[in-house]
Amino acid sequence: MASNKAARDGEKIWKTNVDKVNAELVTLTYGTMVAQLCSDFNHKYGEVNQQLDKMGYNIGMRLIEDFFAKSGVQRCGNLRETAETISKIGFKMFLNITPTVSNWSADNKSFSLIFDENPLADCVELPNDGRAQDELWFSNIFCGILRGALEMVQMQVEAHYVADVLRGDETTEMRITLLRYMEDEMPPDDE
């Protein structure tokens, strides 16, 4: 899918096909949850990141259905198309943002999403304990969501943040690497 077409489709879906909710409500709920997690795990931020990722993974597996139902997107032919679809349709229709796809690796198997804006992190400040700035990935739920959602379309990916403006970095950047396309395999515990 060409990049402009994806952008147009994304815009259209956002405008016509999506029931909306106040962003502050979501930001407040998510922020409160992260704060609760930090205190639960005594500010062991590695653990917090992991929990957010896991939560995202479960959400991603459900979100993909909603994505297809509302977008009518067809199967992508390659990872570049997938990346465009994620940015211009996926992020657009759920969060009304369009992160930039860039920094492709030479083998075309990994790319970055650069976020100019992030509704989850609006008005957020990380705890000033000298560690959160280095250890916490506040929006880590997104990594899980992508991983979960893509797994449902037979793509195993690894996703992690490499920079976040909340930490004082210049940009917010997520790195996504395709590990493999999964064959149609039976879920392990299913009979």
Residues that bind another protein (CB under 8 A): 14, 18-26, 28-30, 32-33, 35-37, 40, 51, 54-55, 58-59, 62-63, 66, 93-96, 119
Beta-bridge mates of residue 177:
110, 158
CB of 67 to another protein, least distance (A): 9
Closer to another protein by CB, 62 or 180: give it.
62
Angstrom distance (rounded) from CA 140 to CA 97 = 17
Which residue's CB is nearer to another protein, number 22 or number 78?
22
By C-beta, is 28 or 162 nearer to another protein? 28
**Nearest in space to 120 (alpha carbons), one of 25, 15, 14:** 25
User: Which helix (DSSP H) or strand (DSSP E) does residue 141 occupy?
Assistant: helix 141-151
Cα separation, 35 vs 42, in Å, equals 11
Residue among 100, 58, 93, 95 nearest 73 (CA): 93
Minimum gap (Å) between residue 22 Cβ and another protein:
6
- For residue 44, the minimal CB distance to another protein (Å) is 10
Beta carbon of residue 36, minimum distance to another protein (angstroms, whole number): 6
